[in-house]
Amino acid sequence: MPKGPIFEKKNVVVLGGAGFLGSHLCEKLLHDSHVICVDAFIGSSERNIDLLLQNPDFEFIKHDMDEPLDLESYKELSRFKVKFQGIQEVYNLACPTSAKNFDSIRLQTLTANCLAVKNALDLAVKYNANFVHGSTSVVYGPRTSAGQMFKETDLGVLNHLSPRGCYDEGKRFAETMVQTYVTAHNLNAKIARIFRTYGPRQRLFDGEMIPDFAIDALDGRDLVIYGDESFSTSLTYVSDMVDGLIKVMAAPAGLGAINLGSDEEVKLVDVARKIIELTGSSSQIRFEAPLLFMTPLGLPDLTKSKERLGWIPLVRLEDGLSRAVDYARANKALIDLIRNA
């Protein structure tokens, strides 16, 4: 297959493309690419791609990546000439997560980090496509001190038999698979270690605190923090993360793993107070027991991303939170229907 497009636009596959981050990535890629969005709707929503479906350069394929994907069997992709041009890029963001409903998707999480990753890599090998794997900061393990910064060379320590081991250890194994394919098949594959990201289209009422803060503040309900007043994290606005992923894809082969996230630590109680201020709400802040997927994590050392990609997050937290509130306000009627369904 040709390494570059032989027609006017390259063909790009986004696995997990109907998810929060994946849908934003698809939207940005449509500026100069044909985009094939693949998703099984385990932890995502068709609403995220409703507007994209109207674009002739976009096509959605419902498929569970636990099974091999034969793109050439889909007649709807004929206009992208996949049989002749192939695929130039594959982004793998296909892994379900749920802060509140983790038990119900435990097995899907496990297989997404092994079977699905293998099938994604095999797809890239078939078309000699450049590959970016969406990994996560959890591969470094829990932070051991406030403000701890992780470098890509740091070796994390994890309990692989913990209740969330299928995700944490699964993500580490997925990275091992990517690196093995690099050496075994000379695949141009990179690993993006994604730190906490927020913005429009995040799942609602599932423990993702930023969107729930905005909705509850608009309704005058308590804002719930799953932890105590010391709960701190880094937060990266989704447009910055999308730009980072695209830069990772465009980087020369041999980049390896690289951190993408904000290196500024913020307390969630301060975030909640800011959202209350932005909404003019009378809501109060309430603390509840921590969730498995909402725990304090370390911060990224961004030296490599600055030097190799020229990338740093640019959207200020206050501006990003303002956009999240505007999105919640603009979609309030739909959100109320979801809440009451």
| Residue 259 to residues 93, 140, 192, 324, Cα–Cα distance (Å) | 15, 11, 6, 24
Per-residue exposure over 107-122, b if at least 16 CB sit within 10 Å of its own CB, e if not: ebbbbbbeebbebbbe
Cα Rg of the chain, angstroms? 20
Q: Is 101 exposed, middle or buried (0-12, 13-18, 19+ CB in 10 A)?
A: middle
DSSP string, 271-290: HHHHHHHHHT----EEEEPP
> Choosing from 140, 167, 198, 226, which is the catalytic residue?
167
- The whole-angstrom separation of Cα 122 and Cα 335 is 39
Q: Dig out the tokens for 285 from the structure.
A: 């802040």
- The whole-angstrom separation of Cα 234 and Cα 226 is 16
Q: Is 201 left (phi over 0), alpha (psi -120 to 50) or beta?
A: left
Per the annotation, the verdict on 74 as an active-site residue is no
Q: Which residues are catalytic?
A: 167
